[in-house]
């Protein structure tokens, strides 16, 4: 059975004091929920966040990692370094990494394989740009993003994969995909995985929606049968909003 998940992608926000304060507020207000709750502060605040949340239900996850085990990659962080401080899940393929830092499907494939080889869980992000949707190519773009990074994986690897469909046109724009658009794409993603692998794998993978999820629209999006939760950006930075989104699931 797939899990319900609400994850906060904090992006390049919150210094150490801000991280401490937001985590303290989230911990104090966390509702009872069947969903897995995850937060991803910046690299420099991950170790502190893990310490602060020790014994909590909230999992601290990373926004990125490099594919190499170690070596001359100035400014980069390896799987081993993340594991060493207690991080077991990594977000890979976020559209901001693809757009601003040149991360291609080929690089992402290496990162996914490196994370899995280190027994980490991968939250793999993908999604079409506005022009793809306008030209009706959104399904083929999404299919090729999945195929290029994930379809050479061993079927057993899928128990360590979480998918996050984030249409680029909905990220940080206030323009959310309609619940129907999200459901349509999530069902397509599941069907694509069933065809490439099998129906059990497709049925068991959690597929999150991301892109301008907020307290006012979360419940309707989460009510769709193929939407297993959300990857939340801006609204994850305010405890009350994030808590309201967790309650919506």
Determine the residue with CB nearest ligand 13P: 233
User: Which range, of 31-39, 108-116, 192-200, 226-234, touches ligand 13P by CB under 6 A?
Assistant: 226-234
Q: Do 224 and 189 touch, CB atoms closer than 8 A?
A: no
Closest distance of CB 147 from ligand 13P, Å = 22
Pick the closest to residue 29 from 223, 243, 235 (CA basis). Answer: 243
Q: Which is nearer to ligand 13P, 201 or 235 (CB)?
A: 235
Main-chain dihedrals φ then ψ at residue 65, nearest 5 degrees: -165, 165
Closest distance of CB 7 from ligand 13P, Å = 8
Per the annotation, the verdict on 34 as an active-site residue is: no
Q: Report d(CA 187, CA 102) in Å as an integer.
A: 29
Pick the closest to residue 4 from 223, 235, 193, 179 (CA basis). Answer: 223
Binding mask 150-169 for ligand 13P (x = CB under 6 A): ----------------x---
Per the annotation, the verdict on 166 as an active-site residue is: yes
Among 19, 89, 145, 212, binds ligand 13P (CB under 6 A): 212
Q: Report d(CA 94, CA 107) in Å as an integer.
A: 12
Exactly one of 94, 96, 138, 186 is catalytic; name it.
94
Question: What residues are labeled active site?
Answer: 94, 166
């Amino acid at each position: 059975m797939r899990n319900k998940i609400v994850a906060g992608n904090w992006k390049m926000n919150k210094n150490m004091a801000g991280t401490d304060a937001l985590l303290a507020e989230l911990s104090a207000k966390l509702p009872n929920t069947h969903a897995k709750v995850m937060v991803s502060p910046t690299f420099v605040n991950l170790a502190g966040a893990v310490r602060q949340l020790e014994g909590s239900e909230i999992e601290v996850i990373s926004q990125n990692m490099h594919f190499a085990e170690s070596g001359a990659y100035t400014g980069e962080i390896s799987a081993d370094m993340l594991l060493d401080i207690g991080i077991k899940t990594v977000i890979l393929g976020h559209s901001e990494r693809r757009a601003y830092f040149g991360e291609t499907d080929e690089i992402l494939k290496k990162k996914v394989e490196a994370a899995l080889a280190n027994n980490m869980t991968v939250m793999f992000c993908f999604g079409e740009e506005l022009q793809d949707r306008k030209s009706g190519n959104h399904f083929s773009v999404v299919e090729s993003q999945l195929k290029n990074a994930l379809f050479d994986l061993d079927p057993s690897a899928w128990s360590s994969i979480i998918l996050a469909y984030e249409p680029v046109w909905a990220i940080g724009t206030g323009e959310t995909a309609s619940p129907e658009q999200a459901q349509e794409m999530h069902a397509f993603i599941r069907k694509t995985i069933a065809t490439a692998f099998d129906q059990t794998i497709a049925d068991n993978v959690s597929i999150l929606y991301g892109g301008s999820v907020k307290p006012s629209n979360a419940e309707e999006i989460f009510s769709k049968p193929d939407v297993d939760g959300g990857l939340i950006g801006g609204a994850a930075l305010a405890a009350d909003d994030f808590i309201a989104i967790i309650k919506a699931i």
